[in-house]
Amino acid sequence: MPRPQKANKGQVVKNPPTGFPAFIDKQRPRVLTSDIWTFLKHTVASELPRQKQMQAAAFLEQAAEFFEAAKGPRLSCCPVLYYYSFLNLAKTFLILKKVNMPTAPKHGISVPKGVIQRLRVEGQSVHFPKCAQNHSELFPELVSSFGGTIRKATNLKIISLLKQIPGVHRTFCQVTNQSPSFLPIKKFVLLRHQDKFCARMILDKKDKDVELTIVQIRQRQAFRRVFHQVSAGDKTEIWFETECVPGIRRGVYTAIKVLAAQINGLGIYSILTNNGWKYYLSNTSVGKNLPQLASIFAIMFYLSSITRYRPYDFDKIFSGKFAWLISEFLQTQPIQYAYGVAAKIAGVDVVRPFAVI
């Protein structure tokens, strides 16, 4: 391994975008809200013309009602309620993104024929087409709006999708006896030297997941194009920096967005915690993965299909080795999806206030 370069001596940028690098589409402060649905209603009322506002508000109202209803029934009923919440929130999101969908778009995702009959999680998959010219296939439009690409009709295994979600990855590794796939990032720091900017990624050297993933991630060609290792100012940390990009006066924010795009191109994954968003890099190629929120949507669609079409078989999922993993997914990912979509809509990070217990 080449010797680390000297770290950039630039000054830390004052008042950087708090959602860097994932949520900085708009130049405004982060959003703190304990009621994600009321915030989204406010956004719909503020940003859409009257006709579109009424349409989006109706979808959003259903999303909120399905979400709240999912908290009440027994576990086997939750997936179908959460899925319809996700679906309606997705429609709201696409309207706000000005995607011109038909009045009744297709789901754009299905379970391949015969899959549900062989109810083993390892063999289960979902199918989805590429985007339709008339935007009638909702799931591919959602993937595209989240920053992903579907070049052709695709089948993806549920187990592969579960592997792509950092919020349940610890459980995934224990259940499947696999090594970690996510590199936890301690923090990002933006630096300025004269009229140039760079980003520093700081890792915790003592973190076991860093030790298990860093070698493979550092070998990826895409990673090496964006980051180079520099000498850390703290012996307990590992530092990587981007190359500097110019930014003068009004170009400062543009420079920061360029750096964010470079880092996001590597595949940034996130978990909303009590301290804000925690970021990760995956050791798998971005081209092989769906965007994180799309993976959550697809898994919930699959679980809802079991609930709708073979409810008498749903308990089989909770009788095998994947019971704990599926339970963790249902307990943790709905709120992650809701806040994640809200952050995509807001263009900044949306977090829960510290006062919320």
Measured CA to CA, the distance from residue 259 to residue 214 in angstroms comes to 21
Give the pLDDT of residue 332.
95
Across the range 42-46, mean pLDDT stands at: 95
Average pLDDT taken over every residue of the chain: 90
Across the range 50-59, mean pLDDT stands at: 93
Measured CA to CA, the distance from residue 198 to residue 150 in angstroms comes to 31
Across the range 78-89, mean pLDDT stands at: 96
Rounded to an integer, what is the distance from CA 214 to the centroid of its chain? 21
Q: How far is CA 152 from CA 62, 82, 140, 158, 209, in A?
A: 31, 28, 10, 18, 34
Q: Which residues contact 67 (CB under 8 A, 6 or more apart)?
A: 37, 81, 82, 85, 334, 338
Task: Give the count of beta carbons closer than 10 Å to the beta carbon of residue 89.
Answer: 26
Q: Are strands 187-193 and 11-12 parallel, antiparallel or unpaired?
A: antiparallel
**Least confident span in 45-54, 120-129, 153-162, 335-344:** 120-129
pLDDT at 113 over 90: no
Residue type at 285?
A: S
pLDDT at 65 over 70: yes
Give the pLDDT of residue 144.
94
Across the range 326-331, mean pLDDT stands at: 92
Give the pLDDT of residue 317.
67
In a 13 Å sphere around the CA of 316, the CA atoms on its Cβ side amount to 14
Across the range 255-271, mean pLDDT stands at: 94
What are the residue ranges spanned by the domains of the chain?
Answer: 11-25+182-283, 33-177+289-351
Give the pLDDT of residue 173.
95
pLDDT, one tens digit per residue, over 178-218 is: 999 999 999 999 999 888 999 999 999 999 999 999 999 99
Across the range 324-340, mean pLDDT stands at: 95
Is residue 348 a contact partner of residue 26, using CB atoms and an 8 Å limit?
A: yes
Across the range 322-333, mean pLDDT stands at: 92
Burial of 7 (0-12, 13-18, 19+ CB in 10 A): middle
